Amino acid sequence: MGSDVLIKNGMVMDGSGEPARKADVIIDGDRIKDIGSFPDAAASRVIDATGLVVAPGFIDAHTHLDFFFASPRHADVLESWAHQGVTTIVAGNCGYSPAPINHDHVDTVSAYWNFAFPRDGLEFEWTTMAEFLDHLEKIGQAFNVGILTGHGMLRTNVMGFEARFAEPDEIAEMKRMLRESIEAGSIGLSLGLYYVPGIYAHTDEIMEVASVLSDFGAPLVPHTRGMSETYAEAVREVVQIAEELQIPLHLSHHGSFIRDDPSIMERAERTIDEARKRGVEIGHDFIPYSTGSTTLLSLFPPEMFDGGLDKFFARLEDPLVRKRIIHGWETVVPGWPNWEHSWWTDNHYHNAFSSWSLICLSGFRKDGNKRFENMSVEQIAAKLEKDPFDTVFDLVLEEKGTIIVTGGAFDNPMDDDSVAAAASDPNASICSDIVGGDHGTINPVAYGAFPRVLGRIARDGGHMTIEEAVRKMTSLPAAQMGLKDRGSLRAGAFADITVFNPDTVIDRASFANPHQMSEGIEYVLINGKVILENGTYHADALAGHVIRRA
């Protein structure tokens, strides 16, 4: 006796990608004690894993649950992550983190980044990253959480939404807040150079702020300055920063929206390959679907936000401004650098989303608008008997900007091959990039991302071994994000463990039917505690740790 849990007779995939081997895993407290062969009597609880794979718990390396872990409701709402085998979730991506926060800008942040907030709002009971992480610990966490510090938040705290380069004293203040945040345990710096206010930052500002990371070896995690026509230049910008500062680089949702010009991705990949040969550490994450969601506000011309959201809403009332926006959407091709092209980094109306019939809206608050939930702009415009552009402008004003946009190829099997090819890149870790987790989004990522890769892409599609798929969900993201003692099964590591049936594991959620739990994940343990067994999720276990960068 003595140990707490013994997982017997499973096929152990340790997260390294090496072939599975039959072994038992024995757990003491929150750590793995040993892997080998042990009698039933060695532990107070025995789990029979005959015919099942025993893997490290999966790590969702990129989410927009950024502000949601501070809600006491998070454990209930995030059940679908447990049914995917996820044990650790990274948030604070794309430039936005819940801390540090200047309380003067809470309203702006809550409106612009609304999809990452709890539906019922949030009391900011903290200012610094240290206070925020303490708060998460105090309310208890269902999953292990790692929090990046967002450059967009640092910039908002210092200078709001001003469309200009930062002054040296403003950059110094951003650096001070970043250092304090990393020292408190934040795991790295995220950039949102496509979002306001990161879109207004010069490369020199990013280089200077990110230089703080050099003292910690912490990763730079960018949503690049453009993911369409200028993607190759945008990748080169962050590669140069990482190389000069000698810090690890982790590209968020790596890829370009421009499908008909393969030279863009070829140039980006060449930049990455050559930098790797020079010793730059570069990884990335990947969403296993061909659709994306974000705030509808991010489609608007960047200069519209100069001076803050109140000014944006006032401008949007003006019919002449509306005409200029439409003209921009119909004609702008982003150029490099974006500050010489009215700040535009992407024209997603034109490329990624391309048609009002492929742009769906969700997250409505006003009772009168809830009937439009998850409809396309084209459908909503038809119901309102209005022009689609005015439909969008009026809804943005009515909802004060808090609308989620989802666009791309919904449930289009033609896209499966390109998704599988991108997922097969050995440096791609898997992520959900969930947007609107508490807002009833139709995007199935919240339910299916990880079982989709295991079942459809690896097992059924044969694009990689199950062992390799597991590596991309465990040891790879743990290394990319610097998560110590996570993502591998070995003596001494944290006992985050996912036990799944390799023959049946599969995602069931689609855009047509999004709220369906995945199947085949049999047991999930977080820090040695069972949080999922026989289909039952223990929301009250609160077994997660707030991960602090050592």
Chain contacts with Zn ion (rule: CB under 5 A)? 94, 223
Q: How far apart are CA 169 and CA 167, in angstroms?
A: 6
Closest approach, Cβ 542 to Zn ion, in A, equals 28
C-beta of 94 vs 442, nearer to Zn ion = 94
Min CB(357)–Zn ion separation in Å: 24
Pick 27 or 94: Cβ nearer Zn ion: 94
Shortest reach from residue 93's CB to Zn ion, in Å? 6
Helix (H) or strand (E) holding 222: strand 220-223
CB 95 → Zn ion: shortest distance, Å? 8
Nearer to Zn ion, 12 or 206 (CB): 206
| DSSP-assigned letters across all residues of 386-435 | S-HHHHHHHHHHHTTT--EEEEE-TT-GGGHHHHHHHHTSTTEEE-----
Site of tokens 């004003």: 397
The residue (of 94 and 446) whose beta carbon lies closer to Zn ion is 94
Name the minimum Å distance from CB 431 to Zn ion: 10
Closest separation in Å from C-beta 89 to Zn ion? 15
Tokens 């990880």, located at residue: 450
Q: What is the 3-state secondary structure (H, E, C) of 35-77?
A: EECCCHHHEEEEEECCCCEEEECEEECCCCCCCHHHCCCHHHH
Minimum distance from CB of 223 to Zn ion (Å)?
A: 4
CA atoms within 13 A on the CB side of 441: 29
Q: Which residue type, as a one-letter code, is found at position 61?
A: A
Query: How far is residue 238's CA from residue 207's CA, in Å, rounded to a whole number?
Result: 9
Residue number, 432 or 527, with CB nearest to Zn ion? 432
How far is it, in rounded angstroms, from Cα 509 to Cα 95?
A: 29
Q: How far apart are CA 92 and CA 99, in angstroms?
A: 9
Residues 6 or more apart whose CB falls under 8 angstroms from that of 123 comprise: none
How many separate helices (H) and strands (E) can be counted in the chain? Answer: 17, 22
* CA–CA separation, 173 and 170 (whole Å): 5
Closer of 94 and 396 to Zn ion (Cβ)? 94
Nearer to Zn ion, 225 or 529 (CB): 225
Neighbours of 324 (CB within 10 A): 15
CB 33, min distance to Zn ion, A: 39
Helix (H) or strand (E) holding 475: helix 475-481
The torsion angles phi and psi of 195, rounded to 5 degrees, stand at: -100, 160
Smallest separation, CB 221 to Zn ion (Å): 10
Q: How far is the CB of 195 from Zn ion (least distance, A)?
A: 8
Instruction: Name the DSSP class of 23.
Output: E
Q: What is the C-alpha separation between 364 and 119, in angstroms, rounded? A: 10
Q: How far is the CB of 86 from Zn ion (least distance, A)?
A: 19
Dihedral of CA atoms 236, 242, 248, 253 in degrees, nearest 10, equals -30
Cβ 62 to Zn ion, closest distance in Å?
8
Tell me, letter by letter, the H, E, C secondary structure of 84-149: CCEEEEEECCCCCCCCCCCHHHHHHHHHHCHHHCCCCCCCCCCCCHHHHHHHHHHHCECCEEEECE
Instruction: Please tell me what DSSP assigns to residue 233.
Output: H
Residues in CB range of 100: below 8 A, 6 or more apart: 127, 128, 129, 132, 149, 153, 154, 157, 177, 180, 181
Closer Cβ to Zn ion, 343 or 393, answer by number? 343
